Amino acid sequence: MQHTSLIVSVSAALQFLSAQYGQARAGTFDLVRDGQPACGIVLAENPTPAARLAALELQYHVWKISGAELPIRSETERVEGRRILVGESAATRGFNLRGRDFKPQEYLIALRPDTIILIGRDWEDTPANRQVEGRPMVGETLEGLRHKLDFWKTVGCPERSTAVIELPGLYDDQGTCLATYDFLERFVGVRWYGPAPLHVVIPARATLSVTGADVRRSPALKHRSAVPAGNWPFLRGQWGQFSRDQVHLYWRRMRQGGERWAGNHTFHRATIKAAFSDPEYQSKNPRSQGSQLCYTHPKLVNQVAQMARDFFDGKGGLPEGWKAAGDYFAIVPDDNMNLCQCTTCAALLQKGRTRKTGFFSSGEMSDYWFSFVNAVAREVGKTHPDKFIATLAYWAYALPPDFDLEPNVSVAPCLHTCYYPVHAAMKENDLTFYHAWQQKTRAPVFLWVYYHHPMEPALIDRWKCFPHVMVHDTARSMRMFIRDGVRGIFECGEQDQLEQYVMAKVWDDPEVNVDGLMDEFFRLYFGAAGDAMKTFYLRLEEIACDPANYPTPYLRSSGIDWKKAAWERLGTAERMEKLGVLMAQATQRAGTETERQRVALWRTALWEWMRQGRDQSAAPKSIAPAPPTSNP
């Protein structure tokens, strides 16, 4: 495991790259010399989907950097001179390196004389592997996440288009991609700040040489589900033009995916209708209307346990809308309190009466729900002790129950991370049950983290929120979760472009220097406008994360009046005036056409949104008009 900070090694690589080149130096590897290819890429005769994508990514980025096209050769062809071995092949076996010898997600970047090796464990395209069923978080199948795209068209070079390829599935092993993306970032200086070519920073070099020590590691967080589609206004606006194919490629570049896991609602009207129609265990509550079951009924426990066993045995048959993947079979009830009122259920629910917290995350149905989870887990544990029943710790069952959990119950607390900088009481309530779960469970812990407020209520009620930039707080929380041993995180909602990027980097390596990442982003992405954009962005964060800006009655015990706080407390006339000056400076300073386009996207996504939000609000208007920006 290499612990060198990414930033240190990248800047070392860049320093080296910017030096003048003579003949090849000892310990360096020339990929390109004076715009001419100086090596070839070698793939297995039948490469894995990960190796095939990795080779194309390597070829594309080197070509964009230098204009040189490195040939991609099969192991069966003769390759003269220097080689980059991408994925397992006869040549890597010559170095005693096989994909299957790597742990899941572990990968190697190795520099040898005349050879670079980029390898890890990859999912192999076999009929048996194709048959494995799984329905991760949002109901799509493992197979559905093996997105197909035309690579060259996706990266903006349709004239080079050859064929449609299948990407490695989001939750398929793709160690060779992890190695190649890390190589392109760490040794070559490429940065992916978004899905489209406009968002990618690619250095320009006629001669491309790399040097450095081997890297053998794996991402710190094992399940990484921050897969924003650009559906929310800030990210959509900051990204501007992008395609769905580009987003799928971007998730791979950001190394999302990883270990298979699922934890989301599984019992709801559709799945109950499809798989749980037995009248014996229907909820004895007329208001349930087919959305809840009698969760103390032994027949239900046995049926769900059998369904889990069948899933783990590869027998298939999960109803649409169910969630289960890898070693995890999820059971989570529907989102309402119309629970069964039979004598046994009512008695367990009665025990929860005293467990309300006053917050959204509470415990009044914890004993009830986790009795069912335990009962199913006990049954499944008899036959499949190494598999897990996954569930959420959420809403009225966020708190742990009064009793012990079966060892094969894997819990994902749902945490309101977007409130942490400004709502101390909610954070304390969250972290109290988060730590209690850490104590209570013996199985891996996952998290569902909310980044839905204030944007979600703003979208629902059609007003414009103040940008809730909280990148340092987010990095702090994620670092704590990873150090606590959390195995995977699902992000609910979307942050802005930079926060999304930083979070993914902390998930990969919690020791990463966050300020360094941010400085680098503003410098590389906005160039001459970088300083003004950075000051603008950090000022948004400072305002959004200052608890003093949310006094009572804006702050309520159970939440925040985001709508009133936005333009009465956060985007005040005085602050808007200063922020407007910074945005005007950035607009004016942007030098290149690329910088101008990037600044314009941020100006529209953040600044114009804010101006409109303030104009549409009832907040007192500015006395002096905001300074003009040079908007087209």
Q: Which residues bind Zn ion (CB under 5 A)?
A: 294, 340, 342, 345
Of 235 and 345, nearer to Zn ion (C-beta) is 345
CB of 608 to Zn ion, least distance (A): 54
Identity of the residue, 145 or 340, whose beta carbon is nearer to Zn ion in the bound complex:
340
Sign of the alpha-carbon torsion through 550, 555, 558, 564: negative
Q: Given its phi and psi angles, is residue 80 left (phi above 0), alpha (psi -120 to 50 degrees) or beta?
A: beta
* Contact predicate 139/154, CB 8 Å: no
Smallest gap, in angstroms, from Cβ of residue 279 to Zn ion?
Answer: 13
Taken in order 268, 269, 273, 276, is the CA torsion positive or negative? Answer: positive
Tokens of 89: 């092949």
| Token pair recorded at residue 66 | 């230098």
- By beta-carbon proximity to Zn ion, the closer residue of 345 and 610 is 345
In the complex, the smallest distance separating the C-beta of residue 372 from Zn ion, rounded to whole angstroms, is 10
H-helix segments, 3-159: 6-18, 49-66, 90-94, 127-131, 151-154
Residue closer to Zn ion by CB (options 292, 441) is: 292
Cβ-contact 541, 549 below 8 angstroms: no
How many whole angstroms separate alpha carbon 133 and alpha carbon 314?
7
Continuous segment of H or E residues that includes residue 333: none
Please identify, using beta-carbon distances, which residue of 351 and 564 lies nearer to Zn ion: 351
Using CA atoms, how far apart are residues 269 and 292, in angstroms rounded to an integer?
8
| Residue number, 273 or 299, with CB nearest to Zn ion | 299
Which residue number, 37 or 333, has a Cβ lying nearer to Zn ion? Answer: 333
C-alpha pair distances (Å), 16 with each of 28, 135, 208, 209, 521 = 10, 46, 10, 8, 20
Picking from 219, 250, 256, the residue whose alpha carbon sits closest to that of residue 235 is 250
**184 within 8 A of 58, measured Cβ to Cβ:** yes
Question: Of 201 and 342, which CB lies nearer to Zn ion in the complex structure?
Answer: 342
CB of 324 to Zn ion, least distance (A): 24
Structure tokens at 600: 């314009």
- Taking the complex as a whole, the smallest distance from the CB of residue 371 to Zn ion amounts, in Å, to 11
Q: Which is nearer to Zn ion, 301 or 502 (by Cβ)? A: 301
Say how far apart CA 446 and CA 223 lie, in whole Å: 8
Token readout for 190 is 């490429």
The least CB distance from residue 597 to Zn ion, in Å, is 60
Residue number with CB closer to Zn ion (90 or 347): 347
Distance CA 335, CA 315 (A): 29
How far is Cα 611 from Cα 620, in angstroms, rounded to an integer? 13
Q: Minimum CB separation from Zn ion for residue 300, in Å?
A: 9
Query: What span, in angstroms and rounded, lies between the C-alpha atoms of 256 and 250?
Result: 9
CB 227 within 8 A of CB 284: no
Burial of 45 (0-12, 13-18, 19+ CB in 10 A): exposed
The distance from CA 193 to its chain's CA centroid, rounded to whole angstroms, is 13
* Tokens 């650009």, located at residue: 230
Q: Which stretches within 140-243 are classed as H helix?
A: 151-154, 175-186, 233-239
With respect to Zn ion, which residue has the nearer C-beta, 229 or 342? 342
Nearer to Zn ion, 297 or 416 (CB): 297
Least Å distance between CB 515 and Zn ion? 54
Exposure pattern of 452-485 as b/e (b: 16+ CB <10 Å)? bbbbbbbeeeebbbbbbbbbbbbbebbbebbeee
> If you search the block for the tokens 């410098």, which residue do you land on?
523
Rounded distance, CA 122 to CA 499, Å? 29
CB of 294 to Zn ion, least distance (A): 3
Cβ proximity to Zn ion, 374 vs 587, nearer residue: 374
Q: How far is CA 299 from CA 161, 279, 334, 349, in A?
A: 56, 11, 19, 20
* Residue labelled with tokens 């069964």: 340
CB nearer to Zn ion: give 218 or 371.
Answer: 371
- Find the shortest distance in angstroms from Cβ 345 to Zn ion: 3
Smaller CB distance to Zn ion: residue 294 or 393? 294
Which candidate, 565, 471, 461, places its Cα nearest to that of 521? Answer: 471
Three-state secondary structure call for residue 574: helix
Nearest approach in angstroms of CB 354 to Zn ion is: 21
